[in-house]
Amino acid sequence: MTTSCRAASAAPPPRIHIDVTAWWDRRNAPVGISRVVVELAKAVHEISILNRAWRYDRQWQRLVEVPWAEFERVVGPPLDQTSGAARLRAAAGRTPFAREISETVLRWGRRLLVWLRLHPAFLVLEPSDRFVFGGWIGDAARLRVYRQMLDPCPHNVSLYCHDVIPAILPELVESQVAAVFDGYLDVFVSSRTQIFCPSAATKRDLCKLLPDTRPPRRISVVSPGSDIEDAGSGHEAEECATSIDRDYILYVSTIEIRKNHAVLLDAYGTLLERGRADLPLLVFVGKRGWSIDPLLQEIDRGHGRSSSVRIMDDVSDRQMGALYRGARFTVFPSLYEGWGIPVGESLRFGRFCLSSDRGGSREAGAGLVELLDPTNSRLWADRIEHYLDHPDQLLAREADIRSRYRPRSWTEFRSDIMAELADA
């Protein structure tokens, strides 16, 4: 199915349309990419009440609108409630039941149209509209929908490219994502595309992949924030902290092959061979991912080197803050990152981090972390042991973080995105 460009003279006021599928798929616990998409959506929502959010419906293989009321129900309204857009929302949307009724009618009306197949599978964009995308695509059918939407005429696209791992290290991502990555770039990148990257490292790697024949309009570095909302003390946070009854080292990350949890278990195995009996607990905070089953089975059995490992999932922001505060220090041995949000979070809470030296992690560390080769488990064992044996040096590192680190907030991230979109 195709469509044609509409005459600009007959077009309604321009809108920004954002794809929030990455958030929708994990809307109860947005972390990593889904957290970035949430903040992108907040920025788009705050710019104008005319803007819209969309998600890809895998069952129907089409884009479906996500009412802002549903978005706000899960993540809360934009933080800036003093802008003109916010006041207009307040005036138009607070009439008792009016907004809820209208959203319900529209939602069920759209579902009926989908069932009858009376509208295209993709969003029909006006020439002046802008489409914002900040997720990944892992199937060819979904990619075809976006191609149908964007191909008929040049469209304004803003793409947040988290990393280029599917192209440079395809063995570290799910095969279906790597298989369609070239098509993903082909669909979203044109002379009217504005690209955001989380780090200069990602920007450099991306520029090597883009063909000279289709340069984007602009590539900017807009790094994520490191603050965790509602991370103060409270019963929930205290309960989480007290559930760990010994010293611990913290690793916050989805548990998957790219995040390289295995190097930490290998390092602990080396330390056990050296006769260390006082090892802190290794606390892995994150969902269980793909291509990691043998490691997870070993951890679940809890023998040998894995006897000092605990996995925690579905951790709230309050609990996460308590875990950072209580950690001896943090580790981040990922084999490659576009940025490394947990590195910045660790520094924000004043915790020293042993980090991988690959990709954007170096920039996220702001010169205040120790960078290590993520493939050298003996090196990780040596440096973990060093800081266990030299608490004075660990305290000096923390003092340096407190005096020099300037946390970047998600509010700053949204402000930068809004400025970039206004200048597009």
Q: Are residues 400 and 415 located together in one domain of the fold?
A: no
Q: Please report whether residue 58 resides in a domain.
A: yes
CA angle 196, 198, 204 (to 5 degrees): 80
Strand order in the sheet with 248-252: 309-312, 281-285, 248-252, 330-332, 353-356, 370-372
Predicted confidence at residue 121, as pLDDT, reads: 65
Predicted confidence at residue 242, as pLDDT, reads: 59
Predicted confidence at residue 231, as pLDDT, reads: 46
Q: Please report whether residue 2 resides in a domain.
A: no
What parts of the chain have a pLDDT lower than 70?
1-12, 28-29, 77-122, 229-242
Q: Please report whether residue 1 resides in a domain.
A: no
Burial zone of 93 (CB within 10 Å; 0-12 exposed, 13-18 middle, 19+ buried): middle
Predicted confidence at residue 88, as pLDDT, reads: 43
Q: Please report whether residue 195 resides in a domain.
A: yes
**Total count of domains within the chain:** 2
pLDDT, one tens digit per residue, over 201-254 is 999 999 999 987 778 999 999 999 998 865 455 555 556 665 788 899 999 999
The CA radius of gyration of the chain, in Å to the nearest whole number, is: 23
Specify whether the backbone of 205 is left (phi greater than 0), alpha (psi in -120 to 50) or beta. alpha
Q: Are residues 257 and 324 located together in one domain of the fold?
A: yes
The percent helix, strand, coil of the chain (3-state, each to 5) is: 45, 15, 40
* Distance between CA atoms of residues 158 and 134, nearest Å: 8
Q: Are residues 18 and 145 located together in one domain of the fold?
A: yes
CATH number of 395's domain: 3.40.50.2000
Q: Are residues 221 and 315 located together in one domain of the fold?
A: no
Predicted confidence at residue 94, as pLDDT, reads: 41
Q: Please report whether residue 247 resides in a domain.
A: yes
Contact present, 257 and 291 (Cβ < 8 Å): yes
Domain that holds residue 321: 235-404
Residue 5: both structure tokens together = 């460009």
Q: Please report whether residue 3 resides in a domain.
A: no
Predicted confidence at residue 9, as pLDDT, reads: 47
Q: Are residues 221 and 258 located together in one domain of the fold?
A: no
Q: Are residues 170 and 281 located together in one domain of the fold?
A: no
Q: Please report whether residue 129 resides in a domain.
A: yes
Task: State whether the Cα torsion 160-341-39-289 is positive or negative.
Answer: positive
Q: Are residues 105 and 74 located together in one domain of the fold?
A: yes
Predicted confidence at residue 410, as pLDDT, reads: 95
CATH number of 78's domain: 3.40.50
